[in-house]
């Protein structure tokens, strides 16, 4: 065996030793990760963070709602005795309901036809979010006397099991379409 071959043989042995060392290290890291993963599996679902819902409004009043916000998320507008059908995105909320779950609702109103437009008025309430068992849409019900109900549900008014009020009903003779210019 020549000196070159002997040197080459030593280099090959060192490379094999390194390769075996890397393989052992790789196996050890893999086992450690497997053990850590198995120790973390205690049957609980991992925290997925907040749920997100579209927002829709139901206006049970004679006022026009120009715009509204729930915890700062814009919700659109809603004509007197109207709503539903239009959804805007989105608001985050906890996946599990708890008794002190609230949201701040801010909205502006003005008179609707046949009453004269006299400007907008802003309102704000901290409102309890009603108990929910399933994730879904945030249904915002604007009620007379500046009351608001917040209902998270996979359904809407008229949907079987919906826990909120029925859809708003226009009084007999209420105009079908109201635009701001008509109110002046």
Same domain, 33 and 67: no
Residue 158 φ then ψ, to 5°: 95, -15
Expressed as residue numbers, the domain containing 166 is 51-183
Q: What total number of domains does the chain contain?
A: 2
Same domain, 1 and 69: no
Same domain, yes or no, for 111 and 171?
yes
pLDDT for residue 23: 66
Statement to judge: residues 37 and 127 lie in one domain: no
Residues 62 and 141 placed together within one structural domain of the fold:
yes
Coil vs helix vs strand at 176:
coil
Same domain, 64 and 148: yes
Are residues 69 and 39 both part of a single domain? no
pLDDT value, residue 180: 58
Report pLDDT for 49. 83
| Cβ proximity of 144 and 167 under 8 Å | no
Q: What is the pLDDT of residue 70?
A: 94
Query: Is 35 in the same domain as 71?
Result: no
Place of tokens 């826990």: 163
Q: Are 117 and 67 in a shared domain? A: yes
pLDDT at 90: 80
Same domain, 31 and 59: no
- Distances from the Cα of 152 to the Cαs of 50, 55, 111, 169, in angstroms? 13, 9, 28, 21
Residues 38 and 85 in one domain: no
Q: How many CB atoms lie within 10 A of CB 35?
A: 10
Q: What does the pLDDT read at residue 124?
A: 96
63 and 152 in a single domain? The answer is yes
What are the average pLDDT values for consecutive 10-residue runs of the chain, which has 184 residues?
68 65 61 56 61 91 90 88 76 91 93 70 94 93 95 91 90 69 55
Q: Cβ distance 148 to 57 under 8 Å?
A: no
């Amino acid at each position: 065996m020549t000196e070159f071959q002997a040197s080459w043989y030593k280099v090959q042995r060192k490379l094999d030793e390194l390769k075996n060392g890397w393989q052992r290290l790789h196996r050890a890291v893999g086992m450690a990760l497997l053990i850590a993963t198995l120790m973390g599996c205690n049957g609980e679902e991992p925290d997925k963070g907040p749920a997100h819902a579209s927002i829709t409004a139901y206006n049970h009043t004679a006022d026009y709602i120009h715009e509204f916000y729930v915890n700062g998320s814009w919700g659109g507008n809603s004509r007197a005795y109207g709503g539903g059908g239009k959804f805007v995105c989105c608001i985050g909320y906890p996946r599990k309901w708890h008794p002190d779950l609230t949201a701040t609702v801010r909205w502006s109103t003005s008179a609707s036809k046949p009453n004269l437009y006299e400007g907008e008025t802003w309102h704000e309430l901290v409102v309890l979010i009603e108990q929910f068992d399933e994730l879904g849409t945030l249904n915002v019900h604007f009620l007379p006397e500046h009351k608001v109900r917040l209902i998270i549900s996979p359904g809407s008014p008229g949907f079987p099991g919906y826990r909120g009020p029925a859809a708003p009903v226009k009084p007999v003779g209420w105009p079908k379409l109201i635009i701001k210019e008509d109110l002046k």
